[in-house]
A and B are shown apart, each in its own frame.
Chain A
Amino acid sequence: MREFAARFIRSPEGVAGLVLTTCLLAMALSAPYLFPRDPLSIVGRPLLAPFADPAFPLGTDRLGRDVLAGLMHGARTSLLVGISAAVVAILAGAIVGTLAGFSSGWFDEALMRVVDAFQIVPGFLLALAFVSVMGASLPLIVLAIALGAWTGPARLARAEVLSIRERDYVAAAWVIGMHPLEIAFKEVLPNALPPVLALVSVIVAGAVLTEAALSFLGLGDPNIVTWGSMIAEGRNVLRTAPFLSIVPGLGLVAMVLGVYLLGEGLVEALARRRIRQ
């Protein structure tokens, strides 16, 4: 473990990603304590420029809402949606992939055609359609994003399972009379999981962007502040108050970059260990 940490620290992108995500995580976790009021509440003069008033370091928007409070609470929403969507997608993908890979035959075929069907529709369109039909609330948005993201993990998990199920210890499990489902989820899945987990960073980054895009189009939950809705709101005054779009936009960049770099660093550190083994 210590060796792994040392290897991780040696990769510059991993460290940069760790620093960025830690900062954003700290922002998200501290938001309700630093800004206990609803971040959508109107607190000051509208369209105050950043750094002009110490009470509102990042200024205020068209209605006089604190941009800094929005940024902090928005980090919370973004991270929450990103991580929840990734968890749902990985979970669903791993289960479907394991079932397909382990069962083989017509059941495998059927499951994989379902995966194909989902994969040919662009994930964003899928989310868009789902949200416009089902309505916009946070759990539904998470589900909508996961709907377009679970196919990657499913394919990867199936491929891993196909190779693992031929191993000796799986044969041994059959011999001692374990239930097939027990073998699939107790013996095979845990060993198939690590490569699938490498997808987490990609899915989280994608989910954060999809959520922002949905909010930007007005399909997010209007009762919570998100970076996408802040950018959409700021777009109306882009020429007079560009900071309203730039500030949450930078947040988005930092979040996606941070998560992605962290993922890269982790994968690289893990890969080196494998090579050495």
Chain B
Amino acid sequence: MFRFSLSRRALLYPVALTIGLAILPLSPAAQEAPEGGRLVVAADSEPRDLNPAVVASNGVFFISSKVIEPLAEASYEGEDGLEPRLATSWEGSEDGLSFTVNLREGVTWHDGEPFTSADVAFSALEVWKPLQNLGRIVFSSLEDVETPDEHTAIFRFSEPTPPQMIMKAMPAVTAVLPRHIYEGKDIATNPTNTQLVGTGPFKFAEYRPGEYYRLVKNENYWSEGEPQLDEIIFRVLPDRSAAASALEAGEIHLAAFSQVPLVDLERIGQVPGLEVITEGYEALTYQLVVEINHRNEALADRRVRRAIAHAIDKDFVVDTIFLGYAAAATGPVPKNAPEFYNPDVPVYDFDVEKANALLDEAGYPRGDDGTRFSLRLLPAPFFAETRQFGDYLRQALAEVGIRVELINNDTPAHIKAVYTDHDFDITVSPPVFRDDPAISTTILVRSGIPNGVPFSNQGGYENPELDALIDEAATTVDTAERVALYNEFQRLVVEELPLINVAEWSFTSVASEKVLNVGNNPRWVVSNWADTALEP
């Protein structure tokens, strides 16, 4: 093992070498396919626990997805939008009570042990179902995983579980852990969580707090000829402006997750050698949502909610707040999920007069100062854009005579105020669409969710018709029927407006032009990067 520090000199060394090589005509290196090299990537957060099977979050996936693989990865072209990884094929039964997965043969863990169906059974029963935030929902009725042989796993469910939902959830939820390391020990505190062992194209080498994570090539990766890179360095750069300057200085090759702020993209796109890439985030769509507390008497009136929807200029939000890097939303399912998206829903145009008329009709006339009533607005502090939209919403509602008092909180205080104490009237929230409405969308409007569950219906909205529809769709196995139910779900949500979907957005990457195969699948940033290459 050699020691190295990420000094500028160390990073410039290969650059100098390349210049040297380029001067030599017809050097053999120039003709070969780009293989090897060290990719340096900016990491904006520094998760200590990297176990993706426990914490399904983008910050964890960003690093761990190169080391620990799921059963299947999202894909632009593949069947069902999937590409095989540790599974080679999969099939759900007609009754929705079982789901069979055939596993890849000849795969070994980074410590040399063979990968078998026992690892999958262990991960599903001991980790995904009881411990993982999304797995809890997807595998809620999982009873057992049978392993008739080393390369077959059969998931048995007590309630009909739609295979479509499992397939949609596979990339994010099914990271397989090595049973021989985790079995019999406490999973959440296992030291392997910080020193990952997986089957992926890269092995976890070291982590220096505050400096970097280093991954090295897995020579025994199951896919012949992959990975292309020798090393990936995730350099910890929490300051957003630092990432932009590091890119310009050539110190890093890639900054993902919009680490370069939107306002700087136009400028940095002009820098020679750098490009702005918006592909590779389609399966990580965020939704800008106005969540409503239906305990407020005025907001319990559908006409008032519709008036608010009419008061919001979605084009302004997309063009000015997101600088065009977003799309106006029509309902609770984003356009990026074409198999579920239903465009045939009621539309609330930006129309101040109509909003005023609706509010008058609802019995809230303007007072002497032009104000009808007041609302407390808590914008979520997670993104600059959610705060800015809060500022905008205050002004947009002032136009229709609703006085808004903004209350800014830090993250824990915000989550407590909204999702536990219900101490708000409206809030701006950025939920993530997790590829299937059953995973994280329906809980935004379903009634009967216990207090304190973040990003769920804590506004006290109750609609028996909608609840029945959600419950029916959750256990409908047939894909076409299921989609039809979710189409109806979207229509009903937009008609009743338990919440108001304003826009949909995702992140952008800024990468050096030398990095090849960037953004070639819908979850590229959090996929395994086996085919990512670096031009010398």
Contacts and interface: CB of A to CB of B under 8 A. Distances in A.
A128 B394 CA distance: 26
B320 A64 contact: yes
Given A64-B320, A218-B408, A223-B406, A240 B267 contact: yes
A236 B394 CA distance: 20
A240 B392 contact: no
B267 A40 contact: no
A179 interface: no
Given A40-B395, A41-B395, A239-B264, A62 B405 contact: no
A42 B406 CA distance: 16
A237 interface: yes
Contacts, number: 45
Contacts of A240: 263-264, 266-267
Given A38-B398, A40-B394, A136-B408, A46 B264 contact: no
Contact of B388 (A38, A40, A63, A132): A63
B267 A222 contact: no
Given A63-B320, A63-B391, A222-B406, A236 B398 contact: no
Interface in B497-513: none
Interface residues of B, number: 21
A62 B266 CA distance: 15
B398 A41 contact: yes
B343 interface: no
Nearest to B390: A222
A237 B263 contact: yes
Contact of A46 (B320, B390, B395): B320
Contacts of B267: 239-240
B407 interface: yes
A46 B313 CA distance: 15
Contacts of A132: 410
B130 interface: no
A40 B391 CA distance: 8
B321 interface: yes
**Chain A interface, DSSP helix/strand/loop, else mixed:** loop
Interface string B435-469: 00000000000000000000000000000000000
B454 to A, nearest CB: 21
Contacts of A136: 408
A46 B394 CA distance: 17
Looking at chain A, what size class is its interface with the partner chain?
20 to 34
Nearest to A219: B408
A222 B407 contact: yes
A136 B264 CA distance: 31
Nearest to B404: A223
B279 to A, nearest CB: 25
B157 to A, nearest CB: 47
Nearest to A218: B408
Contact of B395 (A42, A218, A237): A42
B188 interface: no
Interface string A191-227: 0000000000000000000000000001100110000
A42 B241 CA distance: 27
B261 A236 contact: yes
Interface string B251-274: 000000000010110110000000
Given A38-B398, A222-B407, A236 B263 contact: yes
B384 interface: yes
Contacts of A63: 320-321, 388, 391-392, 395
B31 to A, nearest CB: 40
A62 B388 contact: yes
Contacts of A239: 263-264, 267
Contacts of B388: 62-63
Interface in B404-427: 405-408, 410
A223 B410 CA distance: 17
A236 B384 contact: yes
Nearest to B403: A223
B269 to A, nearest CB: 12
A219 B392 CA distance: 19
Contacts of A62: 263, 320, 388
Contacts of A64: 320
25 contacts: A38-B398, A40-B394, A40-B395, A41-B395, A41-B398, A42-B395, A62-B263, A63-B320, A63-B391, A63-B395, A64-B320, A132-B410, A135-B407, A136-B408, A218-B408, A222-B406, A222-B408, A223-B394, A223-B405, A236-B263, A236-B384, A237-B263, A239-B264, A240-B266, A240-B267
Given A42-B392, A223-B394, 15 more contacts: A41-B395, A42-B395, A62-B263, A62-B320, A63-B388, A63-B395, A64-B320, A219-B408, A222-B406, A223-B405, A238-B241, A239-B267, A240-B264, A240-B266, A240-B267
Interface of B: 241, 261, 263-264, 266-267, 320-321, 384, 388, 390-392, 394-395, 398, 405-408, 410
Across the A-B interface, give the 7 residue pairs with the lowest CB-CB distance, nearest first: A222-B406, A237-B263, A42-B395, A222-B408, A46-B320, A41-B395, A223-B406
